């Protein structure tokens, strides 16, 4: 089922629940006038709404920051590998081609194989670790044969370390980032916040129903947005392999 279909169903369900509760309440005799709602109930309702708005804002900021960090890590990984390939020009042709082949093999594997695995399982593969380790070993175990190679050795190794760190960060960020207890609070808070509407003696007037439905739809949409951003490498607004595709056009990764 498409995520957008799930969003529509969630919003429609929120509207249906509000409508059902309003209709059922109207069928029961109401002894208290809607114009005589105690001030304390209005105050509590307002405070609950403010507190829940703060919680929602923090949750949205958290998942957005996690997605941004994942995107930065991916770009750093791709950029480091691109620089390794470019800096390999200091080596003799045979070893230069070997280094570049190691980089291309790793990049192709990440985009064509590991990426789908990461989306499905929320983790990275041992094969990817082995390919990056091979690149590191090939460079680290070769003794510099000239002053130029000696000068270029440490910068290249720094880029390999940076790529490895970015890969590890990508593995840690794969999968949902929000703890279950936070989701419990978000969903429970939504139920309480929407439920407090009925403490204000909402009636079936078009204006009140419209406001209640819009409020419920907004809560459902925000929760869906948090869920969608919660996994940086999956779902509809996920981080893509575009940095690899842009920095390694010769591999035709987007094809």
Chain centroid to Cα 24, Å, comes to: 39
Residue linked to tokens 């995520």: 3
Q: Give tens-digit pLDDT for 41-81.
A: 777 778 888 888 999 999 999 999 988 899 999 999 999 99
- Report, as an integer, the average pLDDT of 219-240: 85
Which among 227, 224, 128, 135 has a CA at the least distance from the CA of 170? 128
pLDDT range class, residue 196, cuts 50, 70, 90: confident
Find the helix packing angle between 126-140 and 147-173, rounded to 10°: 170
Q: Give tens-digit pLDDT for 79-105.
A: 999 999 999 999 999 999 999 999 999
Q: Give tens-digit pLDDT for 143-189.
A: 888 898 899 899 999 999 999 999 999 988 887 888 888 898 898 88
DSSP of 88-157: GGGS-HHHHHHHHHHHHHHHHHIIIIIHHHHHHHSS--HHHHHHHHHHHHHHHTSPP-SHHHHHHHHHHH
pLDDT at 177: 82
Q: For residues 26 and 203, is the Cβ–Cβ distance under 8 A?
A: yes
pLDDT at 6: 67
pTM equals 0.79
Contact partners, residue 37, CB within 8 Å, separation at least 6: 199, 200, 201
pLDDT at 190: 87
Q: Give tens-digit pLDDT for 5-51.
A: 766 776 777 677 766 766 665 665 545 554 555 667 777 778 888 88
């Amino acid at each position: 089922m498409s995520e957008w279909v799930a969003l529509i169903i969630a919003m429609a369900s929120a509207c249906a629940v509000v409508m059902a509760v309003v209709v059922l309440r109207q069928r029961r005799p109401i002894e208290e006038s809607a114009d005589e709602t105690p001030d304390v109930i209005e105050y509590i309702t307002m405070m609950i709404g403010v507190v829940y708005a703060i919680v929602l804002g923090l949750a949205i900021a958290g998942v957005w920051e996690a997605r941004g960090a994942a995107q930065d890590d991916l770009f750093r990984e791709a950029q480091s590998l691109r620089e390794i390939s470019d800096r390999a020009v200091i080596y003799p042709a045979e070893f230069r081609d070997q280094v570049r082949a190691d980089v291309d093999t790793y990049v192709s594997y990440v985009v064509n194989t590991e990426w789908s695995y990461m989306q499905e399982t929320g983790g990275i593969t041992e094969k990817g670790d082995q390919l990056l380790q091979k690149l590191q070993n090939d460079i680290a175990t070769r003794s510099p044969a000239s002053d130029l190679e000696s000068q270029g050795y440490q910068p290249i190794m720094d880029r390999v370390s940076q790529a490895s760190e970015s890969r590890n960060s990508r593995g840690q960020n794969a999968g949902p980032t929000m703890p279950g207890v936070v989701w419990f609070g978000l969903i429970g808070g939504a139920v309480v916040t929407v439920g407090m509407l009925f403490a204000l003696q909402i009636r079936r007037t078009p204006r009140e129903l419209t406001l209640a439905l819009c409020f419920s739809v907004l809560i459902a949409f925000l929760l869906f947005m948090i869920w969608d951003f919660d996994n940086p490498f999956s779902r509809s607004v996920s981080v893509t392999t575009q940095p690899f595709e842009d920095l390694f056009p010769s591999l035709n990764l987007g094809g």
